[in-house]
Structure 1
């Protein structure tokens, strides 16, 4: 009981200080060690033998996606492609459909592989101007961006190259297009219900006489830019990432047997995870191809900015991966504590009609909330229980693709607690506070989380994948 109390206190303190703007890179190990003290564990061994190795292992596996995703996003930004896409969607739909325009702008960029952080930077200026023109409260803008960038295109739509959709491949030998019906239905539900919620919030505010509001922080100055690539040309890098990933994962790598040499020295790859590893390679190649094309589509604008795009993307990826890796280290310390074992066993005992899907959804959601990171929480959950879930699925004849999609979608649920890095960054970009806008971000989170459980119920009845 004392150990569980330590876990709760540590998590609460980490959330509180993240809410106040303190770095989780510094405080994640501090509060991980505090939880360890409550459980009677030694401080320094916990830090050097548990926290740091798990931090390093996460960086080892997922850094290429952070790096290439960030560089791709910066290349799209510097070439003007991201701005061109967002601007076109916003102009076509206009002020009357301001919320839909912002959501679709974010969705197109996210599904094309642009980093969530870059999407927020790219869309915010146009979104703020559109909200101001339509007299919609600015405090609703972060929730609107979150719906477009942090939900259905992040992990529900099959094929999305975001990291939340890549992690399960390693554990279930699946690809980015796993469980297409399940994921597509989920995306439709999240989008529809999310838009209905935001529209209700807008009408509620306007009925009370609330408009855009008087804001001075981060108010954008929209400057007309005549040197943007055409919208059609701008989507080419996005389509390329999706197409190259699809071709390699579906039509090339399945016919390339690397096991004769991959399991031998010096590689010694895990034979059961080779398919998932090759699918990771496919995404790396696709993102690198996307970077090259993004740098080539607008030579006049990108000239002299290639180094800037690469350097800024590389530096930005370090901060993003270290934030997440520190939270993964925190979560892995927590999972070694006796108090966590009690919680974990309870989650594994959730049968859900004899299927592992309900247990997996709850476990991933809880750990994503603990770490404040979708990818971090899912990594810990699947590292700990992935083999058990796969064996359970094989035992009852459940398609592993469903394990992939449920894990991916559940990770993007309770991860957006106040200490989530993406939430903190989004609010900073918008010049708003948790008090002003977090309520709506959290509501979108609840919609996303509930959708996963609704789909699990429907799939158990209609047996779709």
Structure 2
């Protein structure tokens, strides 16, 4: 019965998300509904002591990353740099290869530090025009953007500044460059298989005589973009390169400057209270934040007039987007924390412990929690908060480097996370004016490809020891 309650809460949240309702509103409803069916007396204590505690803790640690990523993406957009990058990629790859062009543009922006949510808004107008010109069904746009932004550049490629690659650093005391060879292999598998799937879907639609779509049925169609007066592509790429370079520099410099821990006195009502920061847990987060700040400053220097002309309005939308994205994820994080505390989940967790190989155990646990919460970062954070000590002990006993655990955990978080109630999926479909019923099939297919790639990477490590 306890397991059924947990599953019912998950199904309920998936259904309301599928129907377009706010996850921020219904995540606590789903979580506390499960608590009510388990032990009514625990509803209020669980809400304040666990759901809100975890939600606020997530916001406290990661909201600056969401915010700076959103602002960086917005100034890249206002400066015209995103248009320049898209236009140059299209010119090099060719308009006929619309899907490959959009995937590469999303990958460049995501790996350059632009928030996943911002990439969706920035790339959609170009994708819509290219798909319309190429006669490719609009319903394939979400899957194409998802492959470029939500998969290999989100958590597989070493050095990506996305939050899914940041969270493991706080638990394993690794860097975002952990297990680079495994990350590159996993990223290559996902990219090749994903492009193959999307091309198969495009050819099937073309054989059936399906075009972009019937005009009367299309929603949220963007205006065609103006290709004139855009910056030089090398200038546009400079801030993205700068973010990557400074991220690496800060990753090396911060532990050297601050050491293993750093403390300062905070005066509270005349009394000095020491505040201690454990540097290995937050160095990667500080590095990304510092790199994004420099990236934002570089865009302002390179494109002062076009950015400042619309910065007030653009900053408001960036902040709103960051708040929505972070609160969606934080609310799902709180949901997962409550579910993880219920007896039904303990039964599931005990079952997962029966998986013998430590890396397979980690991958299955993380991707299961990511699926349950509908959040890669939420599921990853919950799994590592609960199991990191066990995973570290398993790594030491099996002689497996923690860098490998980092990469497997990050990649697994982006596996089954994109179920219908995922915040990024909901945002992507809303922006493109499509519904789950029309376009979710392709996103789910990429989810299966991404999940499979994790186990391919584990197999590569077991056979070769490469990491």
TM-score tier (shorter): over 0.9
Aligned residue runs from structure 1 range 21-420, under 5 A: 21-41=20-40, 42-215=42-215, 216-224=218-226, 226-250=228-252, 252-259=253-260, 261-262=262-263, 266-270=274-278, 274-352=279-357, 356-420=358-422
1:374 deviation in Å? 0.5
Measure the CA separation in 2 of the matches of 1:33 and 1:226: 54
1:238 deviation in Å? 0.7
Measure the CA separation in 1 of the matches of 2:117 and 2:300: 19
* Deviating more after overlay: 197-206 vs 260-269: 260-269
SS in 2 for 1:233: helix
SS in 1 for 2:337: helix
Measure the CA separation in 2 of the matches of 1:399 and 1:33: 39
TM-score of the superposed pair, with normalisation by structure 1: 0.95
SS in 2 for 1:266: strand
Alpha-carbon displacement from aligned partner over 1:55-97 (angstroms, at most 9, x marks no partner): 1111111111111111111111111111221122123322321
Alpha-carbon displacement from aligned partner over 1:115-156 (angstroms, at most 9, x marks no partner): 111111111111111111111111111101100010001110
1:53 deviation in Å? 0.6
Measure the CA separation in 2 of the matches of 1:276 and 1:44: 31
Identify the residue that residue 442 of structure 2 maps to in structure 1.
440
Tell me the C-alpha RMSD between the 2 structures.
1.5
Measure the CA separation in 2 of the matches of 1:169 and 1:17: 33
Measure the CA separation in 2 of the matches of 1:315 and 1:295: 21
Identify the residue that residue 12 of structure 1 maps to in structure 2.
11
Aligned positions, number: 457
Q: Judge conservation of contact 1:86–1:122 (CA < 8 Å) in 2.
A: no
Q: Judge conservation of contact 1:14–1:31 (CA < 8 Å) in 2.
A: yes
- Against the structure 1 CA distance between its residues 253 and 269, is the aligned structure 2 distance closer, same or farther, given a 3 Å change threshold? closer
1:285 deviation in Å? 0.5
Q: Judge conservation of contact 2:74–2:315 (CA < 8 Å) in 1.
A: yes
1:257 deviation in Å? 4.6
Q: Judge conservation of contact 1:73–1:118 (CA < 8 Å) in 2.
A: yes
1:315 deviation in Å? 2.3
Measure the CA separation in 2 of the matches of 1:79 and 1:55: 34
Q: Judge conservation of contact 2:152–2:187 (CA < 8 Å) in 1.
A: yes
Measure the CA separation in 1 of the matches of 2:225 and 2:201: 30
SS in 1 for 2:276: coil
Flag structure 2 segments of 5+ consecutive residues without an equivalent: 266-272
1:225 deviation in Å? 5.0
Measure the CA separation in 2 of the matches of 1:133 and 1:148: 20
* Deviating more after overlay: 329-338 vs 255-264: 255-264
TM-score of the superposed pair, with normalisation by structure 2: 0.95
Measure the CA separation in 2 of the matches of 1:381 and 1:170: 13
* Deviating more after overlay: 218-227 vs 416-425: 218-227
1:296 deviation in Å? 2.2
Measure the CA separation in 1 of the matches of 2:261 and 2:133: 62
* Deviating more after overlay: 172-181 vs 128-137: 128-137
Measure the CA separation in 1 of the matches of 2:98 and 2:254: 42
Alpha-carbon displacement from aligned partner over 1:168-198 (angstroms, at most 9, x marks no partner): 0000011111100000001111001100111
Q: Judge conservation of contact 2:261–2:276 (CA < 8 Å) in 1.
A: no
1:254 deviation in Å? 4.0
